[in-house]
Structure 1
Amino acid sequence: MLTLRYMRPEDIPVVVELDQRSFPNAWSERSYNFEVRENKSSHMVVLEIDSPATIIGFAGTWLIEDETHISTIAISAEQRGNGYGEILLAGLLDRSIALGATYAVLEVRISNGTAINLYRKYEFEVVHRRKNYYRDNNEDAYMMFLNGIDAGYKARFADRLAKLRQRVHYTNLLPSGKPTFQ
């Protein structure tokens, strides 16, 4: 069984390790601690598989007023291709919409066709190319934008979410709210 839930402080070492295996410019443990414990705009989540409980992915977004800025999404290499990245993206969008987001933005490497296709599936569009955005290899990034999270989009999103849940069964604990940590 899969569970989508908010990241907890005790998850951070595992998330940092997964981040380092996924990205050349991984976030530090200190950054994750700030996002989880202090940043009121941050919504950091993990996707966990049971038997035994193992974090197989994580994602984050910053929700500021009516904008959600998706900051990171990663799935462990051995779990890619199963629709788990889509669970993370859909979970962040679902929670952001419930909290009042009317548009979303993200950056993605221009070479990451798999991620770009996933974002397009959820109606993100390329609006800008940022030159030399990634410091590890000076790769450009696409800035992608999801504009107009209105009643029409919400209906299409609900349909996509229902189809996703038919394909991949998981428990979504995000609607229970963001926990606070000391």
Structure 2
Amino acid sequence: MEVIIRPMEKEDVDEVLEIERLSFSIPWSKEAFISEVTKNSCARYIVAEVDNKIVGYGGFWVVVDEGHITNIAVHPQYRSKGIGSKIMEGLIDIAKKNGISAMTLEVRESNIVAQHLYAKFGFRPLGRRKGYYLDNSEDAIVMWKYDL
């Protein structure tokens, strides 16, 4: 299975939105994604394609010399196939090219699969945001990767 990683474009938003809705209890809106790819100069988003179908995406915001990962998701039918790793590799590569020295993200305390993925790429838990998730008041684990 060939996975192509490329920049997200406005035309990709409907497919990305489907994955977003299948992946998160409080999904971002179509307007939010359009704004990210057309108006937010700090945003860097990519998609993963298999056979011309978008099967995953990820993005981060450039904040001075740090990257704040906003979201990463893979379509349920394509999970456990290494696509999340390809997306992480793509985001880290873009961060390096943008002079980013560290990256951070929040992940649900219960999302052990995602925590393992991030740890594989050198992210370490360094904080907690109590009651961060609005749907169930679950804590977020704050993970950081330094020295990109």
Give structure 2 stretches of 5+ with no counterpart. none
Bigger relative contact order, structure 1 or 2 (CA pairs below 8 A, ≥6 apart): 1
Provide the residue aligned with 2:140 in structure 1. Answer: 141
Q: Deviations over 1:22-53 (max 9, x none)?
A: 00111001100110001011011110111xx1
The one-letter code matched in structure 2 to 1:133 is: Y
| C-alpha distance in 1 between matches for 2:76 and 2:22 | 8
Alignment: residue pair count = 147
The match for 2:13 is 12
Q: Which residue of 1 aligns with 2:23?
A: 22
Q: Percent identity?
A: 37
The answer as to whether partners of 2:45 and 2:57 remain within 8 angstroms in 1 is: yes
For residue 132 of structure 2, give the secondary structure of its aligned residue in structure 1: coil
If you compute each CA radius of gyration, which structure gives the higher value, 1 or 2? 1
Are residues 1:60 and 2:76 paired?
no
String of CA shifts for 1:83-118, please: whole Å, max 9, x gaps: 100100111011101110001100000111111011
Shift of 1:65: 2.1
Query: How large is the RMSD of aligned CA atoms in angstroms?
Result: 0.9
Deviation at 1:11, TM superposition (A): 0.8
Note the alpha carbon deviations across 1:141-174, whole angstroms, 9 max, x for none: 100011233xxxxxxxxxxxxxxxxxxxxxxxxx
Question: Residue 46 in 1 paired to residue 47 in 2?
Answer: yes
5+ residue gaps in structure 1? 150-182
* Distance across 1 between alignment mates of 2:131 and 2:89: 28
Q: Which runs of 4+ in 1 moved over 4 A?
A: none
- Which residue in 2 is equivalent to 1:82? 81
The answer (yes or no) to whether the contact 2:3–2:50 under 8 Å persists in 1 is yes
Q: Give the number of the structure whose residues are more often strand, by fraction.
A: 2
**TM-score normalised by structure 2 residue count:** 0.96
Deviations 1:41-93 (A, max 9, x none): 1011110111xx11100111111221011110000111110110010011101
